[in-house]
Amino acid sequence: MLKVQEQASELPPRVFIGSSSAALPLAHRIRSLLAGDIRAEVWDGDVSNQLGDIILDELLLNVSHYDFAILVLSADDLTTSKRKRKESPRDNVIFELGMFMGVRGRRHVFPIIVPGQAGDLKVPTDLAGNKVLHLDPDRLANDQGYLSEQVGIVKTAILARFRQASLSLLPSAALAHGYYHNFLVPVSDHLSAGETRNPEGAPTYNSSDYDFNIYMPANLVDADPKKRDLTVQRLGLKPFAVGRQPSANQPSPRPYPFFVKPEIENGRTQFVDLPTTIRTSYDIINLALRDGLGEKEELRTLMGDQERLNFAKAINLLLRGPEASFPNKVRLWWISEETPSTPGAQHDAGKMGRATTPS
């Protein structure tokens, strides 16, 4: 069965957590403390038997598809500088730190420093000005609530900065821009003018009393036109089209096809579109993963989810922009597959769409 749920007003930020192998247990504890409002994942790739260029490619893809990064800088090495030996983090962790700072910016990277027995670590001076968390090793070992308290500081900063974050410059942003200007705007104009291209007997509507609903696919693969048509059938949607009628001067003006729910809801006609343009992102992801990373299905899923969320975020930003002039509501919804064991799964697929807004 299909579930259609209105898009949450705030999407969870994605956080990359990197560390040395020795500090992985601490990295996983940090991830568990961020769970809930944040989707955090620990990168624990084993670099011991992989070529450097493959690891670099994978890291570059991760940098592009996470909103924030937390790097655990622990006392794993000894470095001699100016004839003084000091404990220092592993070079690969510093390298990851620099990559994220260079691509995502300082405000999106949070170093967590864990000093060793000899005191403070030797860390890059470029960290000055960042929100750097220094953990006390003794309290970390003996105070169960200490780490939760300290990670809470970073969590608060991530959520605050995420609400201020700009749109990610991914392929989905360009696709959303084209979808908005080349589909949503002309459809709104034609609906407002009453310019329909439907056969006789098609549903009628009030040009000032309707909602336009965008149903986002559960994954990029489902944005395929054939799978979209199957979803339309399962949801009981009916075809609808707008556009100017043919004339002598313009015998074949472009039609704009989408769908309509057969029943009026709250006195308003419910139009629906399932954008297939986002499928292009799937093709681009496959192109990016073709060399050596094609077997990384978890990375493919991560990138696909990021593209879907970024597309929705771009649409919402455009709808709230100063040039937007839609006389009726435009809402985004998520489609997902629901099993009979899932609470609320007793709904019939043909009656879905009356989803409640998440609290």
User: What range does the domain containing 58 cover?
Assistant: 8-163
CB atoms within 10 A of CB 21: 13
User: Which of 104, 138, 163 corresponds to the end of one domain?
Assistant: 163
> What domain count does the chain have?
2
- The CATH number for 156's domain is 3.40.50.360
Side by side, the strands of the sheet bearing 2-6 are 2-6, 329-337, 210-216, 269-273, 256-260, 238-242
Give pLDDT tens digits along the chain (359 positions): 778 877 654 567 889 999 888 889 999 999 999 988 898 989 875 444 444 455 666 667 667 778 899 999 887 665 666 667 667 778 788 888 888 888 888 888 899 888 776 667 666 666 655 567 888 888 888 888 999 999 999 999 998 888 766 667 678 999 999 999 999 999 999 998 888 887 665 677 888 789 999 999 988 888 999 999 999 999 999 999 999 888 888 788 889 999 999 888 888 999 999 999 999 998 888 887 775 544 567 777 877 888 888 898 889 888 887 777 777 789 999 888 765 544 433 333 333 232 322 22
Residues in Cβ contact with 29 at an 8 Å cutoff, skipping those fewer than 6 apart: 147
CB atoms within 10 A of CB 323: 7
Same domain, 202 and 345: yes
Same domain, 186 and 277: yes
114 occurs within a structural domain: yes
3 occurs within a structural domain: no
Same domain, 124 and 271: no
Instruction: Give the H or E element holding residue 146.
Output: helix 146-163
Of 156, 177, 141, the residue nearest 34 (C-alpha): 156
Same domain, 120 and 190: no
What DSSP string describes 217-281? -SSGGGGSHHHHHHHHHHHT-EEEEE-PPP-SS-SSPPPEEEEE-SS-BTTBEEEEE---TTHHH
The rounded distance, in Å, linking the Cα atoms of 260 and 205 is: 10
Same domain, 105 and 87: yes
CA max distance for the chain: 88
User: Which of 123, 142, 163 corresponds to the end of one domain?
Assistant: 163
The rounded distance, in Å, linking the Cα atoms of 235 and 336 is: 12
The rounded distance, in Å, linking the Cα atoms of 187 and 256 is: 7
Same domain, 181 and 255: yes
205 occurs within a structural domain: yes
User: Which of 163, 185, 200 corresponds to the end of one domain?
Assistant: 163
The rounded distance, in Å, linking the Cα atoms of 35 and 136 is: 23
